[in-house]
Homo-oligomer: A and B are copies of this chain.
């Protein structure tokens, strides 16, 4: 022990001494050029407006990236303690695959110009400075014309790339809520490649990337363009639809349905961590909806954030009320899911509707999510309620624009019918466009996802064995419990350095053989 320490120390000291001869040797080498840092070399005439917009978009992207923790903890809280570490590994893996696929083709397909998919560039997206040096006028102008649907904002394209990547990662995170506690880890990897590379980009392109649903006149039908400000359909319904496809092939958790076919409650193991997830998602949504302005210079974004917060408040209260009526309890999970559902629902309308409409949209979402969870639970096993919170509420939120969009805001955003939603225009035009979008997006994503999961199930396999499911995914897929001290018998824990409780608190002798060291 002592000698090992000494050896290491000697080695380090030696390293230090090597600096001196290295100095000597290097002194004889020919001198390479070096630069004296010169502040005046830094360009200063960049576009102020673009800087402000870019700053907001990057901050919003950071908030949305933080939502990964929100989804992780919402799922962890709703899982049993034997299936919690796996969620950490999943979130990190999915985030990473999404990043690669977004870089390779996702961004190009989603936000490039084109009717059905983007094809104006951005594959293997690279930064403008590499080939050309620093662009004149700074980094903000490069690439803008290739991404027309976002070109109304002068935020730099890299900032938009980052922001939209964070959306793709959110949509992917939504997919897995239905699959907890029984899916094979590899299935995440395989589906994530397809989803982040193709399914999400194409679906999102149609709805808010400038594609045929947003541009209007889909299939020559003469429909007006769809309004989905931050992705009630483009992000949340798409994710939830993938989740439905996975669930149908995966089946329920063991023990979820009794021999009589009646559902049993499988309570999540940790409501505080669930709550952490919900609050992280709430502040993530500040960036999600507020950042979807893609600009700060016009001053619209605080109102978008206000509307988002108020809708969420209504969702909490209505969900609590409905759950109380149905079960007699003040349901913690429903309070959180009511908030999520309301946030999902206001996502489409946050840039289109008036303040007073926000609590209506959010409040109805809170009702939908509770009734949806109870109804769906009777037949299919969605452990976190994602089908209701992201699916049903995403549909409701998308439709709500057809009802509540304010004409001035339709014109300001310049998508859809300038006459506004039903209650302003008296016309169903916008509502039809919204419903049509829901139908098209759902159908595309469901079919593509079902096929993908079907192929996975027939090749790699989708579900762990019964024994693995009983043991929990942490130990069976990852080789160690997420909470070893709760799951490993005390006797076995001893070999990990644990000491029996009585000895720990000093009421008995310490039996550890090293105790005299």
Contact = CB atoms under 8 A, between A and B. Distances in A.
A515 interface: yes
Interface in A1-58: 1, 4-5, 8-9, 12-13, 15-16, 18-19, 22-23, 26-27, 29-39, 41-44, 46, 48-52, 54-58
A272 B80 contact: no
A336 interface: yes
Nearest to A225: B34
Contact of A26 (B5, B124, B221, B442): B221
A107 to B, nearest CB: 11
B466 A89 contact: no
Contacts of A474: 271, 332
Contacts of A88: 271-272, 274-275, 278, 332, 335-336
Q: How many identical subunits does the complex contain?
A: 3
Interface stretch (A232-240, A262-270, A367-375): A262-270
A296 B47 CA distance: 11
A312 interface: yes
A249 to B, nearest CB: 7
B65 A283 contact: yes
A406 B130 CA distance: 7
B266 A127 contact: no
A466 B514 contact: yes
A517 B156 CA distance: 54
A127 B354 contact: yes
B339 A92 contact: yes
A167 interface: no
Contacts of A314: 96, 100
Given A86-B332, A484-B267, A35 B418 contact: yes
Given A85-B271, A100-B359, A332 B5 contact: no
Given A129-B412, A255-B495, A330-B477, 7 more contacts: A15-B439, A19-B436, A41-B152, A44-B297, A48-B49, A54-B299, A268-B484
18 contacts: A32-B223, A32-B433, A33-B419, A34-B217, A44-B49, A51-B52, A62-B63, A62-B283, A91-B275, A93-B316, A100-B310, A100-B359, A129-B406, A139-B299, A266-B496, A269-B483, A271-B482, A487-B505
